[in-house]
Amino acid sequence: MSTVEQETQARSNGAGAKTIPVTNKATGELIGHGPDLDREQIGELAARARKAQPAWDALGFGGRAEVMNALRRWLVANSDRLIQTISDENGKAWEDGQLELFYTADALSFWGKRAKKYLKDQSFHPHSPFLIGSKVILRYRPYGVVGVIGPWNYPLINNFGDAIPALMAGNAVLLKPSSITPLTSLLVAEGLREIGAPEDVFLVAAGSGGTGTALIDYVDMVHFTGSTETGKKIMAQAAETVTPVTLELGGNDPMIVCADADLERAANAALFYSMQNGGQTCISVERAYVEEPVYEEFVAKVAERARTLRQGVPAGPGSIDIGAMTMADQADIVERHVRDAVEKGAKVVAGGSRNERGGGIFFQPTILRDVDHSMEIMKEETFGPTLPIMRVRNTEEAIQLANDSQFGLDSSVFTKDRDKGEQIARRIEAGATVVNDCMTNYFATEVPIGGIKQSGLGARHGPMGIQKYCHTHNILVTRFAPKRSPLFFPHDKLTTKVIGGFIKLLYGRGGRRKA
């Protein structure tokens, strides 16, 4: 997309003269501009979204699903341009961009079909004898205007991807993408315009971190994906207005390799899931624990393959395996963690340093051995193409070390014994675990996935992945409505005694366990 086109899009999304330059992260070249909206402009966008929302809600699930399906077809028809934009502004390989399209197309189809089922009214027969004959309904009602704040590592999945269920629930959405990767979100907005989607139900509130701060003050609910540090700030700000938030934050995902694992598969998976997207994936493998008998063989396999990976400027399908680091600050963290590990006794068996190429920032695919928990790389989120591999005596030690973390996002276990794998999985303190693969539970859209501990609050996917974009509305219709209920004033001794007798009769006996 040309700079001129981007500026046109920037204006149509509310920007005046102020824009932020966007570069190709693998080459450093200028590829466009994103809007840099101020507080007043965010207020204007929010007002437009608020005005558009009731008609969007009134369109119903079927009408909204039609829009989602039309957008899905548009994204696929424009896939080359979309993947190119993602790859350019992020610096990632074509295949990593294609994975974003794959997830998003599937999510558009999934939420288009499932939203109605997950949000349909539910009727209940009340348990309380006070409510005999009453009709109780649980209803999901969209908040109104939802703010989605997204990171730079997945400009499509973790940005517009999180807007899909919010839109399907009947909300209007203001999406604040990262200031360094706004072009993909603007392209999606262009797609919605081209397919004739109702105006102003999806608006890109692009700008700096300050734009995100303003956005929180104007919306009815915030879904945030990004660092734990920023997530805490957002939660604190939202507390001022009691605005609901869900947070998808950082991680330091462990992989456990048992002595009975298929080592070939485990090594291939370890390499792919630690390096894919340049290691800049929240649910990437960040640390591996390998049982003693297979440690040497596993390290040798992973290191040998890491040395063959092709890193460089993405030039279309199949051109490279690993792209650039998107942010200079992130590359500094990766460098610091590797240096710290080496100073404390770790050995580099592949890569280990920056790999400067033209205007992009690259870090070599790096494998470390002889690591331990005194090292930052095992305790903090590194978010780069690194894999530290630690030797453990047995699975008990592996589980204990996997759980020795402030984070709890995803995790994985490799063993040929699937029952054992499931038992180990049940003991890992994380929001998700995969046995004999990694990360793929992100594609199981039927099941909630989210972080525990400092990795987040709430989840995406499954019923709660869309119910979170609604508030519940409890409606009770009283069927028997005599002039006076036993609860009404004035209190009298007889009624109180009769109610007391009922309480004793109903709840004073039974429920004891047999010895």
Q: List, by residue number, the catalytic residues.
A: 248, 282
240 Cβ contact list (under 8 Å, min separation 6): none
DSSP state, residue 314 = -
Whole-number minimum distance, CB 464 to ligand NDP, in Å? 15
d(CA 94, CA 322): 9
Rg (CA), the chain: 26
Q: Tell me if 383 contacts ligand NDP by CB under 6 A.
A: yes
Which residue's structure tokens are 């262009």? 190
Whether the CA torsion 147, 153, 156, 157 is positive or negative: it is negative
d(CA 445, CA 165): 11
| Residue window 328-367: x/- pattern of binding to ligand NDP, with contact defined by CB under 6 A | ----------------------------------------
Cα diameter, the chain: 89
Closer Cβ to ligand NDP, 170 or 250, answer by number: 250
Q: Tell me if 445 contacts ligand NDP by CB under 6 A.
A: no
Closer Cβ to ligand NDP, 284 or 415, answer by number: 284
Q: Tell me if 142 contacts ligand NDP by CB under 6 A.
A: no
Closer Cβ to ligand NDP, 158 or 411, answer by number: 158
Binding piece for ligand NDP, criterion CB under 6 A, among 53-61, 195-203, 205-213, 332-340: 205-213
Beta-bridge mates of residue 146: 173, 221
Binding piece for ligand NDP, criterion CB under 6 A, among 146-154, 354-362, 496-504, 506-514: 146-154
Whole-number minimum distance, CB 491 to ligand NDP, in Å? 52
Which residues, 400 to 439, sit near ligand NDP by CB under 6 A? 409
Closer Cβ to ligand NDP, 248 or 291, answer by number: 248
Q: Are 192 and 203 in contact (CB under 8 A)?
A: no
Q: Tell me if 152 contacts ligand NDP by CB under 6 A.
A: yes
Collect contacts of 393-398 with beta carbons under 8 A, ≥24 apart.
393/291, 393/292, 394/291, 394/292, 395/256, 395/258, 395/291, 395/424, 397/289, 398/254, 398/256, 398/258, 398/289, 398/291
Which residue's structure tokens are 């350019």? 88
- The total number of residues shown for the chain amounts to 515
Residue type, 337: H
Closer Cβ to ligand NDP, 169 or 216, answer by number: 216
Binding piece for ligand NDP, criterion CB under 6 A, among 110-118, 209-217, 370-378, 467-475: 209-217
d(CA 296, CA 321): 25
Q: Tell me if 213 contacts ligand NDP by CB under 6 A.
A: yes
d(CA 266, CA 264): 6
Closest Cα to residue 165, out of 246, 282, 273, 50?
A: 246
Whole-number minimum distance, CB 246 to ligand NDP, in Å? 10
Q: Tell me if 451 contacts ligand NDP by CB under 6 A.
A: yes
Among the listed residues 98, 109, 208, 467, the single contact to ligand NDP using CB under 6 A = 208
Q: Are 256 and 414 in contact (CB under 8 A)?
A: yes
d(CA 205, CA 176): 5
Q: Tell me if 250 contacts ligand NDP by CB under 6 A.
A: yes
Among the listed residues 35, 212, 448, 465, the single contact to ligand NDP using CB under 6 A = 212
Closer Cβ to ligand NDP, 134 or 213, answer by number: 213
d(CA 374, CA 366): 19
Among the listed residues 456, 465, 466, 469, the single contact to ligand NDP using CB under 6 A = 456
Binding piece for ligand NDP, criterion CB under 6 A, among 32-40, 243-251, 255-263, 349-357: 243-251
Q: Tell me if 25 contacts ligand NDP by CB under 6 A.
A: no
Q: Tell me if 209 contacts ligand NDP by CB under 6 A.
A: yes
109 Cβ contact list (under 8 Å, min separation 6): 68, 69, 72
Q: Which residue has the closest beta carbon to ligand NDP?
A: 212
Closest Cα to residue 234, out of 244, 191, 415?
A: 244
Which residue's structure tokens are 């370890």? 270
> Contacts with ligand NDP: how many residues (CB under 6 A)?
31
Whole-number minimum distance, CB 65 to ligand NDP, in Å? 25
d(CA 408, CA 384): 18
Whole-number minimum distance, CB 55 to ligand NDP, in Å? 28
Q: Tell me if 226 contacts ligand NDP by CB under 6 A.
A: yes
**434-435 and 145-149 beta bridge pairing:** unpaired
Q: Tell me if 21 contacts ligand NDP by CB under 6 A.
A: no
Q: Tell me if 147 contacts ligand NDP by CB under 6 A.
A: no
The CA dihedral of 369, 374, 379, 382, to the nearest 10 degrees, is -50
Closer Cβ to ligand NDP, 112 or 384, answer by number: 384
d(CA 408, CA 402): 9
d(CA 51, CA 444): 35
Closest Cα to residue 340, out of 307, 304, 380?
A: 380
Q: Which two tokens stand for residue 197?
A: 């989607």
d(CA 53, CA 349): 55
Q: Tell me if 230 contacts ligand NDP by CB under 6 A.
A: yes
Binding piece for ligand NDP, criterion CB under 6 A, among 167-175, 226-234, 331-339, 503-511: 226-234
Which residues, 276 to 335, sit near ligand NDP by CB under 6 A? 282
Q: Tell me if 176 contacts ligand NDP by CB under 6 A.
A: yes
Q: Tell me if 274 contacts ligand NDP by CB under 6 A.
A: no
Q: Tell me if 34 contacts ligand NDP by CB under 6 A.
A: no
Binding site for ligand NDP (CB under 6 A): 149-154, 158, 176-179, 208-209, 212-213, 225-227, 230, 233-234, 248-251, 282, 381, 383, 409, 451, 456
